[in-house]
Structure 1
Amino acid sequence: MRERGRARRLIGLGARTGGALVRTRLGGEADWRALGEALFEGLSELKGPAMKLAQIMAQWDDLLPADLADELSRLQRQAEPMPWPDIRRTLVEAHGDLDSHFHEIEERPFASASMGQVHRAVTRDGETLVLKVQYPGLAEVLESDLSQLRRLMRLGRWLKVPQARIDALFEELATSLRGELDYRAEARALARYRQRYVHLENLVIPEPLPEYCTQRVLAMRYVAGTPLRELETADDALRQRLAATLADWLTEELFTHGELHADPHAGNFAADDRGRLVIYDLGAVIPVPEARLVAMMRLLEATLDGDPMAMDSALLDLGGRQGQGAPLALYREAAEAVAPLFAPGERDFGDVRVHRRLRDLSPKVWAAMDRLQPPADTLLLSRTLNGHYWNLVRLGGRLDMQARSRPLLDWARRRPMG
């Protein structure tokens, strides 16, 4: 990874993106599909921060033009793998003579991500495991990449994204990427989550193997599974079980343990042959303070009550509203859009009418962003929960959200703010 060459590639991709945005702002038409293909090819090869940002942006289904979002979403499942000799070099640096540890390592990865790729391996004892290997040289170029990425992200202003939101997204990304460089931390998270959620029978978290783990190599027992993104046409009973498990797990994560798995793209989840939900990646786990949860639930309560003034007050407590706040009419529209998900009985996350209404509301929210400027931790929570919402949509989950939210609202009422 040569820093100068990477910088030129990033600048070139930024210029092409900027040109498309300028044409749009001047009343012309941009070829979003062609731009998406160029970004996919370039970012797939470069890996690292820029590819991570594109994956994050693709999760926001309502943020980008549809053709551009479709192309960027391929980065979650079709990214170009790094050549085996480069990956092998990292493994040799970590383990020395590979033949003394492994009977076989598959040279072709079965998953390629922004920070590393995953190879199946068999130990000398005949045990099948997976090795998540960090791309070589990534730590050395990370800060340079981030510097270029900050410049690239300024193009977000052409999409009328407020500078405060751009800055918050950048800080979130930078913090996350620096933390994801240490695979030992992810191994500890896997061990912690396995112990914590052992009572959830329909949840599977692969076991880390510390003897094979280093800062740049994460080893886990192999757990086969069908990726969540391939389950949209699967048996309905299976999809409902997975949706319920996902919702149960997220609720316990937040309200019992005060943590959140913060990388919700569909490639991190699968179903095993027993129909259990598998979570493969715990590289991004963030703490969620109780005060933040209380404020979020009070915002939800005000929203379900359809009370614009209470919604505005709750946003102020969250630190997510500036100046005079948003127009009361926008609060009312937001409440009307969210309310169907919390009506009595099971609500169908696959009902396109619900998320189409939320999507249609999005431009009005963006237009008010000069007064709605969430701090970085609120932005991260919002982005993560939005990603899990779309996972439930993909599964066509039917959940009784009113019954699920009632005890959480009661919990929030019993706790002081701040």
Structure 2
Amino acid sequence: MREHGRTRRLLGLGMRTGGALLGSRLGRETDWRTLGEALFEGLSELKGPAMKLAQIMAQWDDLLPPDLADELARLQRQAEPMPWPKIREALVAHYGELDSVFEEIEPTPFASASMGQVHRATTRQGDRVVLKVQYPGLAEVLESDLAQVRRMMRLGRWLKVPQVRLDALFEELAESLRGELDYRAEARALARYRERYTACDWLVIPEPLEALCGPHVLAMRYVPGTPLRELEAAPDDLRQKMATHLADWLTEELFTYGELHADPHAGNFACDTEGRMVVYDLGAVIPVPAARLKTMLELLDATLAQDPLGMDEAMRRLGGRQGEGAPLALYREAAEAVAPLFVPGPQNFGDVRIHRRLRELSPRVWAALDRLQPPADTLLLSRTLNGHYWNLVRLGARLNMYERSQPLLGWARSL
């Protein structure tokens, strides 16, 4: 599709979405399922930044209408792949004659996403590898796509999201997407993580093959595994092992290395035959300064103490709540909703009562955004953590969050 055609298509999807949001604000009944189907079909074909944004939004299960969230979630597992001839052209542009490098490349991808798709291959030396291939022409249309995404995000004004915060959030997302276009950077991240966790016997990071990598093709050794999204029917002991691995890894990343995997959709994680966690995609990793972690833990501390004034003060230290009129009643309800996950003993992340309460609270959070004014970096961080939370929900995790959080809260109080 030519660039002006993409722009027109994205603009049409944005206008349709905006009309649905406005109608909902005015009290009109909205067919979220039909809107979701239209977004799935359009974005699955167009791919690129808008599809990536929709995939991110699909992780925000507690904020979106269920029918819309269900349709957007399909973009994470059923996105239409790009035809093989176009992908082959991209591989030839990078490698030259493919037969001189590969014994075989499977034409059917086993994974397709917003920015590229993944094909299994065998090298002439007999190595089993996977090739992550960026969609041809994506770099050329990125900036025009981002301009349309910015227009879509301005629809958030109807949800009382301050424009300055929307603009800052857009810049965070745009910088991340621009970084994801350089697959050499992801190859370096894979190498860094492999060195970081070389002594960890329950975590697997695929090895990048530097000689076969380039700006638009990432080659890694093939590591088979069952994607996290397919583990919901797995034996309970395996799901609990994976949930523990994921929680331990996130804690290590945040509090030892000051980073966070910022693309938490379930296809990026898997379980291998030995019960180890495999992390396939490191295209999006964000830094998390210790000062930011400390303030977020202070907010959690005040929340668990059911102290609305303390919660408001922590929000201000985070850079939000710059206006007047602290929503103390909302703070109280949020504290009551979160508290059950942090009482002593193992807590069931699959408890539907907790999800129902959080979902019921979401409209009130949206309505108070003009007073809460969360800073963009914290909003992106919190939504990323929310995506990891829902992965734990999918696993039916039973974790002792009280035991896990106490040392971290003590760390924050000591600083």
Task: Using structure 2 for the length normalisation, give the TM-score.
Answer: 0.97
Match of 2:344 in 1: 344
For residue 159 of structure 1, report the CA deviation from its aligned partner. Answer: 4.2
> What corresponds to 1:283 in structure 2?
283
Cα distance change, pair 88–287 in 1 and its aligned pair in 2 (3 A): same
1:304 deviation in Å? 1.1
Q: 1:39-58 CA distances to partner (integer Å, 9 max, x unpaired)?
A: 11110010101101100111
RMSD over equivalenced CA pairs, Å? 1.4
Matches for 1:147-296 after TM superposition, within 5 Å: 147-296=147-296
CA drift at 1:157:
3.2
Matched, 1:307 2:312: no
CA distance change for structure 1 residues 316 and 19 in 2, over 3 Å: closer, same or farther?
Answer: closer
Spell out, residue by residue over 1:112-135, the C-alpha distance to the aligned partner (whole angstroms, 9 max, x if none).
101100000000011110000011
Superposed, 1:263-412 pairs within 5 Å as 263-324=263-324, 326-412=326-412
Asked if the contact 1:60–1:383 (Cα under 8 Å) also holds between the matched residues in 2, the reply is yes
Q: Which residue of 2 aligns with 1:109?
A: 109
Q: 1:279 to 1:403 in 2, by over 3 A?
A: same
Please report how far the alpha carbon of residue 195 of structure 1 lies from its aligned counterpart in structure 2 after TM superposition.
1.5
* Residue pair 1:325, 1:372 contacting (<8 A) in 2 also: no
Q: For the residues of structure 2 that align with 1:28 and 1:42, how far apart are their CA atoms?
A: 24
Matches of 1:377 and 1:24, distance apart in 2? 28
One-letter amino acid of the counterpart of residue 125, structure 1: Q
Q: Secondary structure of the equivalent of 1:157?
A: helix
Q: CA shift at 1:362, angstroms?
A: 1.3
User: Is 1:71–2:81 an aligned residue pair?
Assistant: no
Identity, % of aligned positions: 78
Deviations 1:352-399 (A, max 9, x none): 111221221111111110011122211111011000000000001011
2:370 match: secondary structure: coil
What is the aligned partner in structure 2 of residue 134 from structure 1?
A: 134
User: Distance between the aligned counterparts of 1:162 and 1:291, measured in 2?
Assistant: 24
What's the secondary structure of 1:28's corresponding residue?
A: coil
Residues 62 and 355, structure 2, Cα contact 8 Å, conserved in 1: no
CA shift in 2, pair 1:381/1:25, >3 Å: closer
Q: TM-score, normalised by structure 1?
A: 0.96
Mean alpha-carbon deviation: is it higher for 19-28 or for 352-361? 19-28
Say if 2:17 and 2:35, in contact at 8 Å, map to a contact too: yes
Deviations along 1:92-127, whole A, 9 cap, x unmatched?
111111111100011111111011000000000111
Matched, 1:2 2:2: yes
What SS does structure 1 have at the residue aligned with 2:372? Answer: coil
- Report the Cα offset of residue 326 of structure 1: 3.0
Equivalent AA in structure 1 for residue 223 of structure 2: V
Please say if residues 271 and 277 of structure 1, whose CA atoms lie closer than 8 Å, have aligned partners that are also in contact.
yes
Q: Amino acid of the residue matched to residue 322 of structure 1?
A: Q
Q: Quote how far apart the aligned CAs of 1:22 are.
A: 3.9
Unaligned runs of 5+ in 1: none
Indicate the residue corresponding to 2:16 in structure 1.
16
Cα distance in 1 for partners of 2:360, 2:25 equals 20
- Superposition deviation, residue 235 in structure 1: 0.3
